[in-house]
Chains A and B, each alone.
Chain A
Amino acid sequence: MSKPAIVVSELSKQFNVNTSGANSLKTALLWWKRRQRTEYKVLRGISFDVARGECVAVVGRNGAGKSTLLSLLARVYKPTAGSVSIHGRVAPLLELGAGFHPDLTGLENIYFNSIILGLTRKEVAERVDRIVEFSELRDHVTAPTRTFSSGMLARLGFAIAIHVDAEILLVDEVLAVGDFDFERKCFAKIDEFRANGGTILFVSHNMQAVRRVADRCVWLHQGQIRMIGKPDEVIPLYESTPLDRATPA
């Protein structure tokens, strides 16, 4: 194995939330003295590696920091401390259909989204047919995406992400949108992606899915890593921990 695909070291993320909820200049000027800030430490210094070709699942309760971790990996946030280094092209699937413009047609959105993900126009032109075919949208691709159902948006989003030749996929609980057939097709595509040496990091609450695809499991608890290991070791422990309601939202 060469360099790992993802290296996360001592990663921390803190959000400052203004509790007055004020978002106007007036309130900021008038009440700057009693500005109240609540700090949420969502991630508190976590470190782990993901090797090339590995599939790692992140599990944990709501508010454990899973989505924040993915967003940091997707460079949506900047870390408060620590670092993330990624070797290879990333396709984030944080929300299917994010970044589609409702007034543009499916085809125009294919171009737009693929270019954000790092393809050139020429490269998109080469794969647009495959994307349309995989998404099963057929003639609908020439309609504006505002007329699409959520299932159609999800299919198109997945079809684009899987065809941009990414080396690393970041997936946030999105595979549960299509119908049964499409889900199977997605899993088949993901297996193919992995067989070609692709790396996946995904977040899921679906333990069956985690058992099925993950090589390793990272269990996040209140912004820290509780355990890393094989799914068969981590999941039983994770599922058997009693609910503590003290977890911050």
Chain B
Amino acid sequence: MLSELKELWKFRELLLTMVQREIKIRYKNSALGFLWSMLNPLITVLVMSFIFQNFLGNDQVHSATAYILAAYLPFTFFQLCLMDSAQTILIAMPLIKKIYLPREILPIASVISNFIHLLMALLMFFLFMTVVYLVHPGVWPFQWTSIYLPLLLLINLALSLGLSFYISAFNTFYEDIKYLVGVLTYLMFFMCPILYFEERVANSTLNIQWGGRLYMLMNLNPVFALSNAYRKLLIAPIKVPVNGQMVDPLPLDWRYVWWAAFVSVVILVTGYSTFNKLKWRFVERP
């Protein structure tokens, strides 16, 4: 693995160029260009918060948009990474059949360009929060706990990159993988505290019946733990309505964050070595 990393380092200039190219191409033929990376989640989240507040019993939650955005933006990054990486090798097939480059550059470039979009989106998020605060003072947009943001981003990056290695390698041989990823990430959205608060999970009848095991089980999912951590660290936790009563927010359980970090690193390392084992067979696929 060390020699492969060395090879990758030799090609860093190419990686940089590829990321630039990817960002350039993405919005090349669209009028609003880069704005789409913020406009898209914003429109989605506005619809979501409308439903969230009016039909899901969260009338008393102010700035629902902010709470949803904080968890939704990183989730979109995760989802886009996985969906985009599936096609990276196949799209570049005419290239890698004719010329040598370390194949892992392709999924890495795709993940990094998505990561840059996430950073831009987070910047817009803080901007949005500030504007909301100025118009309608409520939730102060900057928490001191936001200093943990880089840690969360790092875990998120490792997880997405690791899974992207697996997906891009396997999808080259079996194109079913991309459909599977599409369904699974869609379902993952519902399994994560984006459209609901984790307090709802903790206080659900099923969880109480199971003696808290459901809550633990869902938290073992690194995406769940991350979504929850983003929301708790970026915005001040508030009282959450559960069955008509307002309950105090649960403190962030750091054990689950560390668990997510551990799982992510394992996935990154095994994903990278699996990719390297398979990469020479890409060009020979039937």
Contacts and interface: CB of A to CB of B under 8 A. Distances in A.
Contacts of B25: 101, 103-104
B50 to A, nearest CB: 37
A24 B176 contact: yes
B239 interface: no
A75 B100 contact: yes
Interface stretch (A4-12, A110-118, A176-184, A205-213): A110-118
A18 B175 CA distance: 16
A168 B24 CA distance: 33
Given A25-B176, A116-B14, A116-B101, A98 B284 contact: no
A220 B98 CA distance: 21
A108 interface: yes
Contacts of A149: none
Contacts of B283: 76-77
A112 B24 CA distance: 13
Interface string A93-123: 0110011010110001001100111001100
B6 interface: no
Given A23-B173, A25-B174, A115-B14, A99 B98 contact: yes
A95 B177 CA distance: 30
B280 interface: yes
B28 to A, nearest CB: 6
Contact of A23 (B18, B98, B174, B284): B174
Chain B interface size, under 10 / 10 to 19 / 20 to 34 / 35 or more: 20 to 34
Contacts, number: 73
B286 A21 contact: yes
A99 B99 contact: yes
Nearest to B105: A116
Contact of B99 (A25, A98, A104): A98
Contacts of B29: 103
Is the contact region of chain B dominated by helix, strand, or loop, or is it mixed?
Answer: helix
Contacts of A71: 97
Is the contact region of chain A dominated by helix, strand, or loop, or is it mixed?
Answer: loop
Contact of A95 (B24, B98, B285): B98
Interface in A71-95: 71, 74-78, 92, 94-95
B286 A23 contact: yes
B174 A76 contact: no
Nearest to A120: B13
A22 B21 CA distance: 34
A33 interface: no
Interface of B: 13-14, 17-18, 21, 24-25, 28-29, 94-101, 173-177, 280, 283-286
